Structure 1
């Protein structure tokens, strides 16, 4: 594999130019066929083997890495969320942060450095002082970190302690989901305040961080076009640097609790997505199928897009290094024991073949709205049109991509292609959520 140039990877995923009214509508059968194909590959490839790993593989010269840190605690649990999280208990959370920093130090001792850091959860800001201490250590251990992205909830943005993170966080991502009080109540998000209170908290705190990203979700039951339109107008009034609009992801593990309860029928998604494109791309550049930014090269919300390889620390964290996906133990008890005794937290691994990795990168580039032949040549050492002939042909025949007469290196991803990329990425994340749920299922009370 060729040397992994950060510039090559970043250029492969730069956002789209602004455009006029979208045509992001695809027939229902096209969406269903896309999901069926995705499900086939996910069932085939996303199976994890048991693995007790003593240490991560050593960093490779010329490779660039991102650091992911997972904080698995929330003060209340949302019914539709399948991320790895536990009910917050302060003594357990403080012990966890101590071991998280120990794991970071062990990774540094192996020779790793990182160009960026992403902190996800759970609620990452559940203990602001511990998070600040962790970010300070990360910047000391890994001097190449240029940007730090952190997730949080909208209520935290109104907490005076948020100032503890000023100067440490470059991008704060806030899970709003909707400003509509009815949607917030249905999804149990009213615990973070009314839509107006959420708006005011974010408006006050935006000046603290170079980038504030607002996460929204569409595809809720009862979320009419009027409600979505009003949410988008509120977003434009708030004018954050970045906006992410996720489709509601209902996994096989959550269907019983949310199907026919908070999830809208599948066929409304395409129409709502068209409305999102039409309203946001007047003032924002599209960075990926569901991310929008004020400039053309803002940090993406999906760290997997901008980073071919990343290393995860913390319970339930995922890493992708070389040809392998690694997953840390979901048991807090085992995580604390393993890290406390100087061992690694990994308990699952999946080794991928070359073709599977190429298909995965093609998916991410379709999702990002740019497919670069140069990227596949320089980073993976292959001719894209030959290595993935069937996949490229299928995308062309579906009207998802077309040749760019001004730049042979880059395909043009159509609005239909962005919609299909969004559907496939939604299915990919749903499959990852299913993995999380399966790994959490055997946990006992002593593990939590």
Structure 2
């Protein structure tokens, strides 16, 4: 069963200096053509009306960069193809300042019940250095408009370890974010990704990140602050009040199947991962021609499924469920990973109870090193079959 659908809207009013997602400057004519191409792709892959999925996530780019009428066309497409009435979570990403009351009312009327706001930092100078066009005051105005229209499930994104950011600056930004008392916060350390403005500056020695010990201190402050505000950590980078965990992102971390539509979008279907064409003109042409704008198809065999069960599951603070693993694969994790888990427990990076295997606080700091221990050789599978 396909649990979720991700729909990518690649348009932005301005391109952020750190972002490596598929994005293009907003153009009204191109956006109209894109929505037509997107409709053709979705119709080709999902012929039935009112298809059930547990979650829908419209990301970008900046979906709210679209005009009201373009948003209406997009939402009408989604409403026709998917069973919104029984969809547990329908999220749209937005930037502070992109919203007006008409767009918010439109989203509400089509069943959107969760908003993910890309705030990033509560500091106007740092926002400018990130390439953001909103100001801190826009965050207050946007959240006020959303709450007036009875949106209660609002998530706020923050980035830390920004260029030249001090621990005190991060703590001040975090404390301001907490004053909104929102049910969900996503928080990420800045990553310098290829093909970004920040990457070019970094290569030239013009971008200076805080030292690693400062980044670790920021993460510790982050966890302590969330806990003090009754917002619990349920994934390495995500915190929520009880009942407000992102159901869509849990699809990824539970290694479940999902559709991916739009330029540069990725989907995970039984036996394969699919990546779409990224360049906008090529995506539009292919999607309009035959509704199949696929660039790559990666076969996912048993080996890859098992590895990803641990890579993704260990991102959750509850960890990998032993019973779920056995139910999926027909054998216990011990047959492949018993010694690996034992070694990592001795190192202090994993913990184990009757139900779960999970990262310790120290293990979270060395997550990539932990994940690498769960890579398999093809010959390993012969031990269980």
Name the residue aligned to 1:172: 115
Q: Which structure's relative contact order is higher, taking Cα pairs within 8 Å and 6+ residues apart?
A: 1
Change (3 A) 1:306 1:158: farther
Equivalences for residues 271-350 of structure 1 within 5 A? 271-282=217-228, 283-296=230-243, 298-300=245-247, 302=249, 303-306=251-254, 308-350=256-298
Name the residue aligned to 1:416: 362
Name the residue aligned to 2:338: 389
Using the size of structure 2 for normalisation, the TM-score is: 0.85
2: CA distance, partners of 1:411 / 1:290: 18
8 A Cα contact 2:167 2:214, kept in partner: no
Equivalences for residues 146-295 of structure 1 within 5 A? 146-157=88-99, 160-167=102-109, 168-189=111-132, 191-193=133-135, 195-208=136-149, 209-254=151-196, 255-258=199-202, 260-261=206-207, 263-282=209-228, 283-295=230-242
2: CA distance, partners of 1:290 / 1:340: 37
Change (3 A) 1:213 1:185: same
How far did 1:88 drift?
Answer: 1.0
Name the residue aligned to 1:76: 14
8 A Cα contact 1:176 1:215, kept in partner: yes
**How many residues are treated as equivalent by the alignment?**
358
Name the residue aligned to 2:79: 139
Q: Deviations over 1:300-359 (max 9, x none)?
A: 573522551111111111011123211111132232222223341112122233222222
Gaps in structure 2 of 5+ consecutive residues: 372-385
8 A Cα contact 2:363 2:370, kept in partner: no
2:47 pairs with 1:109: yes
8 A Cα contact 1:221 1:265, kept in partner: no
Change (3 A) 1:218 1:198: same
2: CA distance, partners of 1:356 / 1:394: 22
Name the residue aligned to 1:400: 349
Using the size of structure 1 for normalisation, the TM-score is: 0.74
Task: Tell me which moved more, 371-380 or 300-309.
Answer: 300-309
Name the residue aligned to 1:355: 303
State the SS of the aligned residue for 1:217.
strand
How far did 1:286 drift?
Answer: 1.3
8 A Cα contact 1:66 1:117, kept in partner: yes
1: CA distance, partners of 2:87 / 2:145: 27
Name the residue aligned to 2:61: 122
1: CA distance, partners of 2:144 / 2:313: 33
How far did 1:248 drift?
Answer: 0.6
RMSD of aligned alpha carbons = 2.4
8 A Cα contact 2:257 2:269, kept in partner: yes
